[in-house]
Structure 1
Amino acid sequence: MRGSRQQVAAGNGARAIPKNGAPVFEVTPVRETAPVRTAGGALPLLVMGLVVVSWGLGPPISKLLTAPAMVSAFIRFGMSTPFLLVVLALRGRWLSRRVFAQTALPGVSFGINMVFVFAAVQEVTISVMSVMMALQPAMLLALVGPIFGDRVSVRQIVFTLIGVGGAVGVIMGAGGEFRASGFGLFLTAMSVLTFTVYFVLTRMARASTDVDPIEWMAGINFWSFVAAVPPTLLLVTPSQFFEFGGLDWLWIVIVAFVTGVFGHVLMTWCHGHIEVARSSLYVLAMHIVAVGTAWLIHGEPVTPMQFLGGAVVLFSVAMVIRTPAGSRAIPEPAKQATELDPPVAARSQN
């Protein structure tokens, strides 16, 4: 029977440890892993690069809109929501009840976020908004362990903090263009907070279930549109809708489909392939795109300090890319070795 006990234990991943002539077994359970398949490889990094470019275009393009913020947010989601639902239908899919329920809270957060973003860019320079957004990776770094179970190395922590410092340098380097009102700072802070809620909840969904990115963003945009309706009805007069026209339609198409649909669908895909401690750092590079685009279309100057800060950001991203991916399958500490009791059938035979 002793051999049978060894076979049973071995089938559960245990190993025999001799103790006073009797076999004792040490069991090392392994936590269930989440379906984050890889944190490296060329394809996830390429997709992440497209996200960085599309998201970096968002703030400077949004600043070109002349219509009230609530009108712009309402029209933005009014365009992207039916588009994503049609794309789903063409793929022979529909928005499932599970995804519809899962996207409610992050979708509402994202909808409110867009209202704050459209309002904030009218009150502050792109540089100010980018400074506060640059702090997000440091915030997420404190959450990845307790919430996502990602293993964060000291190297990742160090280069994330260096990257945040570089991003702040990119933004602060604007010098005299660093302008903001108290109300604008409040709007910016709320935009960062609501986006962090959306980002964390989306990452949590991708870590626990295999979510189709387009279906997920269809749900997100639906709930975002729902979130934009009440404040639009309460705060927007019919005459303000007539202020939206001309080139505003071009800018809102770029915001809705390039930054919104394209960028966020790709980011949802990345959540399933790149650890959040890495992806949040990679997103810092969007500030380089944002500041460069603001210089081209708004005349906001680019200074030597911004070039230096941009180099620091890119260096930090490169160093984290070279860091080996942390495993989410973490063996728990071995339990104290104890002698296993024989099966009931075996005791009855003895």
Structure 2
Amino acid sequence: MRGSDRAAPWGGSIPEPSSRGGAIFVVAPAIGRAGDIGDPLNGARTSLLPRPADGVMPVRPTSAALPLVIMGLVVISWGMGPPIAKLLSAPPMVSAVIRFGMSTPFLLAVLALRGRWLSRRVFWQTMLPGLSFGINMVFVFAAVQEVTISVMSVMMALQPAMLLAVVGPLFGDRVGFRQIAFTMLGVGGAVGVIAGAGGDFRASPFGLFLTAMSVLTFTVYFVLTRMARSASAVDPMEWMAGINFWSLIAAIPPTLLWVSPEGWREFGGYDWLWIVIVAFVTGVFGHVLMTWCHAHIEVARSSLYVLAMHIVAVGLAWMIHAEPVTLTQFAGGAVVLFSVAMVIRTPTNSRREPEPAGTAR
């Protein structure tokens, strides 16, 4: 019931969300009812990446279908990123700065129109994950000069396996053998989707180091966002406004140092259309929804689901860039979808106390 408090799994109470939060795109009414847009827990200020007293990082349950629907939208929007970004003619780091330079003021303007602002608490909470995300972009753009895209994509597909090692200590999720097995199977399928394109696999030792750092920094961003979303009721739009601000701060210095003035002048024409899609569809829309999902889906599961973005990317690359789709990619895509389906059917093993099914939001 609106205006009343509900019990939190770790004790105390969680105030019901304020109605001033407004909507997040077309799915806002459903997300708002899920209870994530509102004030901090118990109305109190929290420290950087706060944790409940017992150390358990709970996943807030909602209707069974909604998180999967939202995750599907994330997969589609993130899968659009690589094929669309490939259309950009300007240097990648210039595109990154322009991307964050467009999305940051947009998100702040949307917050202002909703009667909100980037609070001091969220501003400092987003510093570490935001800088990680911005630095990740720098490592990615530096790595593509040393390794082929196929090598980088294969290493990025290994992220779900990396996360299995930290979900227990950090989030209190018990990962069973079934989930581990299907996660590893899904990673193998994703590698098949990427490698099946038949691209040249070329890498230098320095390039492999840069690629490993890009995977690490994105994992840090992914985990820190999940930690913060599990411990406090943060508006996903406000959270991403802070993330984009700090990402812009992280991306500007190396771009100014490494990109010549001629590189900046290469941006123009249709680049503006492609960067709008990357900034607002893949960036704002996809990451806002992913931020919401972090409060409702265990990180080991969500990272596996994201592997399906490679299937979307391959399909769009076939349509946009006429890149052939091989039987190996079809087989790898089928393995990814099968693994995701099996993990969806695997019971949740979080150590948190389950909320009653009828708990009001």
Shorter chain as denominator, the TM-score bin is 0.7 to 0.9
Q: Contact 1:40–1:325 (CA<8 Å) still a contact in 2?
A: no
Output one character per residue of 1:1-20: Cα deviation in whole Å (capped at 9) or x when no partner.
xxxxxxxxxxxxxxxxxxxx
Q: Where do 1:30-179 residues align within 5 Å?
A: 31=54, 33-38=56-61, 41-120=64-143, 126-175=149-198, 177-179=199-201
Of the two, which has the highest radius of gyration? 1
Q: Distance in 1 between matches of 2:345 and 2:115?
A: 40
Q: Distance in 2 between matches of 1:211 and 1:218?
A: 12
Name the CA shift for 1:180/1:295 in 2 (closer, same or farther; >3 Å). Answer: farther
- Which deviates the most, 220-229 or 113-122? 113-122
Q: Distance in 1 between matches of 2:131 and 2:81?
A: 19
Q: Contact 1:59–1:126 (CA<8 Å) still a contact in 2?
A: no
Structure 1: which amino acid aligns with 2:89?
T
Give the Å deviation of 1:70. Answer: 1.8
Q: Distance in 2 between matches of 1:76 and 1:304?
A: 35
Q: Distance in 2 between matches of 1:322 and 1:40?
A: 15
User: Alignment partner for residue 232 of structure 1, among 255, 258, 261?
Assistant: 255
Give the Å deviation of 1:113. Answer: 1.5
Output one character per residue of 1:189-237: Cα deviation in whole Å (capped at 9) or x when no partner.
3321211110011011011111110000000000001111211222223
Unaligned runs of 5+ in 2: 1-52, 355-361
Look up the match of 1:9. Answer: none
Q: Contact 2:172–2:352 (CA<8 Å) still a contact in 1?
A: no
Give the Å deviation of 1:39. Answer: 7.7
Q: Distance in 2 between matches of 1:122 and 1:57?
A: 22
User: Alignment partner for residue 180 of structure 1, among 189, 202, 206?
Assistant: 202
Q: Distance in 1 between matches of 2:150 and 2:84?
A: 14
Give the Å deviation of 1:37. Answer: 1.4
Output one character per residue of 1:26-54: Cα deviation in whole Å (capped at 9) or x when no partner.
xxxx9575442128711100000000011
Q: Distance in 1 between matches of 2:279 and 2:255?
A: 18
Q: Distance in 2 between matches of 1:250 and 1:122?
A: 25
How does the TM-score come out when normalised to structure 2? 0.78
Q: Contact 2:131–2:247 (CA<8 Å) still a contact in 1?
A: yes
Residue identity over aligned pairs, in percent, reads 80
Q: CA RMSD in A?
A: 2.1
Q: Contact 1:163–1:284 (CA<8 Å) still a contact in 2?
A: yes
Give the Å deviation of 1:77. Answer: 0.5
Tell me the secondary structure at the aligned position of residue 166 of structure 1: helix
Look up the match of 1:303. Answer: 326
More helix by share: 1
Output one character per residue of 1:245-272: Cα deviation in whole Å (capped at 9) or x when no partner.
1111111111111110000000000000
How does the TM-score come out when normalised to structure 1? 0.81
> Is residue 283 from structure 1 mapped to residue 312 from structure 2 by the alignment?
no
